[in-house]
Structure 1
Amino acid sequence: MSHGKIREDKTCLNCGHQVEERFCPNCGQENIESRHPFYFLFTHFIEDFTHYDGQFWGTLKNLLIKPGALTCIYLEGKRQKYVPPVKLYIFVSFITFFSFALFPMANVNLDDEKDDKSPSETHFFDKMKSSEVKKIIDSIKTKPILTREDSVSINALSALSDSSKTGGLKKALKMDKKIDTDITYNGYKTRKSYDSAVAKNPSFLDFIQIPVAHKFYELKESGVTKAEILKNLLEKSFHNLPKALFIYLPLFAFFLWIFHNKKKWWYFDHGIFTLHYFSFLLLNILFVFLLVNLTNIVNVGAINTLLYLIITFLILYSIAYFFIAHRRVYHAHGVVSFIIGVLLFTINFFAFTFLIVGLALVSFMMIH
C-alpha cells in the first residue's frame, strides 16, 4: 500500500467522482497528492514490486516452502492476496539475471594467470589437492582388471593433478593457444575445400552446418584463442538464457496439457502452474549461484562443507518440488502422479537440452 499523503480535495483526479476514503469507488485510483519528493520514485518502485503490505512476502513464502499451493489458490479464484503469476515471474527473472550481472558467471579464470596468486584468487580446480586426486587414481588401479574407461579416467585425473601444479585448467587445456591449423571441420581444413565438398554432396542439414562451418573457419583465420572463444560463448549464452527460458514456458505448459484431462484442465491452468514452477526454479538457481560464489570467498573447511550440503539440498529439492507440486495441483493418485511426473520430467529434460544446444549454436554464431 502506498504511503502518499491523501488529498484534501475529495474529487478524483482521474475520473472526477467523489472519493470518500483513500481509493476512488469508480476507477480505483488512489486519491493522494500528485507531487512528491524525488525519493518517492524509488519507494514507489519497491512498493509496486514487493507490495509492502505483505503480499509479496506471503507469495514468496508459499512459493518456496509450499509446492503447488500458489497455483491451487490462484485457480480457486483467490487472486487478491498474492502477486499475480506473470508479475511474479517477471520480477524474479529481473532479480535473478541482475544478480548474475553483478557477480562473475564462472569460477574458471581464462585470462592470463600469475603464479603468485593470493588465496582469494585461487579457483576451484586449484583448490583440489594432488594427494586427493592420487588417492582416487590408486583406488582405480586396485581393480583386478582395468577397463578402457578406467584408463581414460586415470589419464584425465593425472592431467588434472598436473595442471593444479603448473597453473591450473588453462594450461592443461592450452586455452591460451589459437585454433591449430591442423584442426578440421568434418575433415576439411579450409572453407574452400568444405564448400566444394558440400556443393557436391548437399544435405538437408546444410542450413545449420554451413553457417557453423563458416564461423569456425572465420575464427580460425582471425587467430582467436580457445580462451576467447569459450569466454565469448559463455557471455553470449548467458545473455540469451532469459530469452530461452521465456520461449520454453509455453512448451512446458504444452507437455502438461498433453498428459492431463482436456475437459478438466485448460491450457491456461497449465500456464499458471508453469509460471509458478519456473519462478521457483529461478529463485533456486539464484540461491545456488550466490552460495557457489560464497564458497569462493570463504576458505573455512567446515563452513564450505555446510554450504556444499545446502547447495546439494537445493538441487535435490528443485527436483522433488516438481513432483510434490504436480500431485498437489492435479490431485492425481500417488503412483499415477509419480509416473506422469517422471514422463514429464524426462520429456522436458530432452526438450530443454535440445533448446540449450540451439542456444549454444546461436551464441557461437554471435562470436566475433
Structure 2
Amino acid sequence: MSHGKIREDKTCLNCGHQVEERFCPHCGQENTERRQPFYFLFTHFVEDFTHYDGQFWGTVKNLIFKPGKLTNIYLEGKRQTFVPPVKLYIFVSFITFFMFALFPMVLFNSDSNKGGTLDKAAIIKNIKPADTQKLIDSIKARKNLTKEDSLAIKSLQVLPDSAKIEDFAKILEMDKKIDSNSGFGNYKTRKSYDSAMAKNPSFLDFIQIPIAHKFFELKDNGVKKEEIVTSMVEKSFHNLPKALFIYLPIFAFFLWIFHNKKKWWYFDHGIFTLHYFSFLLLIILLIFLISKLTGLSGFKMINALLYLIMSLLTLYSMGYFFIAHRRVYHSHGLVSLIIGMILFTINFIAFMFLVVGLALISFLMIH
C-alpha cells in the first residue's frame, strides 16, 4: 500500500473523474500529490514489487513451497492476489543476476597466484579418480597425440591424492599462450584451413569457419588460455538472461505439444513456464549465496551442513517440475510422471544445445 499524501482535490489527475476514496474508480490511479519527497522514489520502487500489503512475499512463499498453486490461481482468473507472472519473472531475474554481478564467481585466485595461474590447490582438492580416468581416456581418444598430451597422460596416471600442485599446473598451463604448433583440426594456419575448406565445403561451414578464424586470431594475438576461459565465462554470464528469455517460449511450446490443445491453450503453458522459471532462478540464487557462505566458514560441520542444504535444494528443484505439472494439468499420477520425464529429457537436451550455442557465441565475442 502506498504512503503518498492524498490530494484534497477529488478530481483524478489522469482521467478527470471524481475520486471518493484513495483510488480512482474509472482508471485506478491513486489520487496522491504530484510532488513527493525524494525518498519517495525509493519507497515507491520497493512498494511496486514487494507491496507492503504482503503480495510479493506471499507470492514468493507460494512459489517456493506450493508448486503449481500460483499457476492454478492465475488461470482461475484470480489475478490480483499475487504478483503477475511476467512482473514476477522480470523482478526475480533482475535480482538474481544483480547478485551474481555483485558477488562474481572467482575462477582464478589472484592472491595466491599473482601470475594469473589457476588456483591449483582447489583443483587438486576437487579432482576425483573417476574424473582423472575420464580425462586420460579423452586425451587418448585424440587422433594425433602431441608431446604435451603424453606428458599429461603420464602425470595424471601417477597423480596420487598428495600430488604436488606444481606438477598438475604444468598440465593445465593456463598462464601460457596457445602453442604455436597448435592448430584447428590438422591445420596450423588460417591460410591452410581456408584453402582446405574451399576445396571441401560442408553444410557446417557456417559454424566451423567463424570458430576456426577466431581460434587463429587468438593464436596470432598471443592470447593466454586463462584470458580465453575468463572472457568466455564473463560473456556467457552476460548473455545468460537473454538465453533464458529466448528459451521461455520454447519450453512452453514443448508443453503445448504434449497436452490437449482444446483444454490447454499456449497462453496457459506460458503462465506455467513463467512461474517455473521464476522458481528456478530463485533456487539458483539461493544455491549461489549459500556457496558463498561455504568459503567464509572455517568449520567443517557448518560447511557440511551448507553443502547438504545445497544438495537438497538441487534435488527439490528437480522434483518441483513433476509436482507442479501434476497439480496444474491434473493428469493421472503415472501419466503425469511419464509426460514429465519426456518433457524433462527433451528440455534438458534442448537447453544443452542452447548452452553450447551460448558458449560458441561467447567464444566468437572474445577480443
Q: Give TM-score, length-normalised by structure 1.
A: 0.88
Other-structure match for 1:76: 76
Deviation, 1:32, is 1.0
Q: Deviations over 1:117-142 (max 9, x none)?
A: xxxx99743656x9xx7xx69xx99x
**Residue 239 of structure 1: aligned partner:** 238
2:264 is the alignment partner of 1:271: no
- Structure 1 residue 110, shift from structure 2 partner: 5.9
For the Cα contact (< 8 Å) 1:88–1:279, is it kept in 2?
Answer: yes
Question: Does the 8 Å CA contact 1:176/1:225 hold for their aligned counterparts?
Answer: yes
- Is 1:329 aligned to residue 365 of structure 2? no
Describe the shift of the 1:277–1:157 C-alpha distance in structure 2 as closer, same or farther (beyond 3 A). farther
SS of the equivalent of 2:201 reads coil
- 1:316–1:14: structure 2 CA closer, same or farther, 3 Å change rule? same
- Code of the aligned partner of 1:367: I
Displacement over 3 Å in runs of 4+: 110-115, 121-128, 151-163, 167-172
Give the aligned partner of residue 199 of structure 1: 198
Q: CA separation of 1:298/1:55 partners in 2, compared to 1, >3 Å: closer, same or farther?
A: same
Instruction: Name the counterpart of 1:292.
Output: 291
- 3-12 or 251-260: which moved more? 3-12
Question: How has the CA–CA distance of structure 1 residues 178 and 259 changed in structure 2, closer, same or farther, with 3 Å as cutoff?
Answer: same
Deviation, structure 1 residue 298: 1.2
Q: Does 1:344 align with 2:343?
A: yes
The question of 1:178 aligning with 2:177 is answered yes
Superposition map of 1:17-36 within 5 A: 17-36=17-36
| Coordinate RMSD, CA, aligned | 2.6
Q: Which deviates more, 54-63 or 177-186? A: 177-186
Q: Where in structure 1 are there 5+ consecutive unaligned residues?
A: 116-120, 142-147
SS in 1 for 2:295: helix
- 1:170 touches 1:176 (CA, 8 Å); kept in 2? no
Contact 1:110 1:231 (C-alpha < 8 Å) held by counterparts: no
Question: Do 2:155 and 2:168's aligned partners in 1 also have CA atoms closer than 8 Å?
Answer: no
> Residue by residue, what CA displacement relative to the aligned partner does 1:209-233 show, whole Å, maximum 9, x if unpaired?
1110000000000000100000000
User: Which residue is equivalent to 1:230?
Assistant: 229
The TM-score with structure 2 as length reference comes to 0.88
Question: Which amino acid is the alignment partner of residue 125 of structure 1?
Answer: I
Measured in 2, the distance between the counterparts of 1:96 and 1:187 equals: 43
Q: Secondary structure, in 3 states, of the residue corresponding to 1:297?
A: coil
Task: Please give the residue correspondences for 1:106-125 in structure 2 after superposition, counting only pairs within 5 Å.
Answer: 106=106, 108-109=107-108, 111=110, 113-114=112-113, 124-125=122-123
> For residues 208 and 109 of structure 2, what CA distance do their matches in structure 1 show?
28
Indicate yes or no: 2:49 matched with 1:57: no
- Per-residue CA deviation, residues 130-168 of structure 1 (Å, 9 max, x unaligned), is 9xx7xx69xx99xxxxxx96x9999648548466x4369
Structure 1: how far apart are the matches of 2:335 and 2:122? 42
| Structure 1 residues 91-240: aligned runs within 5 Å | 91-106=91-106, 108-109=107-108, 111=110, 113-114=112-113, 124-125=122-123, 156=156, 159=159, 161=161, 165-166=164-165, 171-240=170-239
CA distance change for structure 1 residues 110 and 216 in 2, over 3 Å: closer, same or farther? farther
| Number of equivalences | 347
What SS does structure 1 have at the residue aligned with 2:108? coil
Matching of residue 15 in structure 1 with residue 2 in structure 2: no
For residues 40 and 93 of structure 1, the distance between their equivalents in structure 2, rounded to whole angstroms, comes to 24
The 1-side partners of 2:357 and 2:83 are apart by 33
Which residue does 1:48 correspond to in 2? 48
Deviation, structure 1 residue 176? 0.3
CA contact under 8 A between 1:49 and 1:91: conserved in structure 2? yes
Q: CA deviation at 1:104?
A: 2.1
Q: Deviation per CA, 1:290-348, whole angstroms, max 9, x where unpaired?
A: 11111111121000000000000011000000000000000000000000000000000
1:366 equivalent in structure 2: 365
Q: 1:157 & 1:40 partners in 2: Cα distance?
A: 65
- Contact map agreement 1:14 1:29 (CA 8 A) in 2: yes
Distance 2:176 2:17 in 1: 73
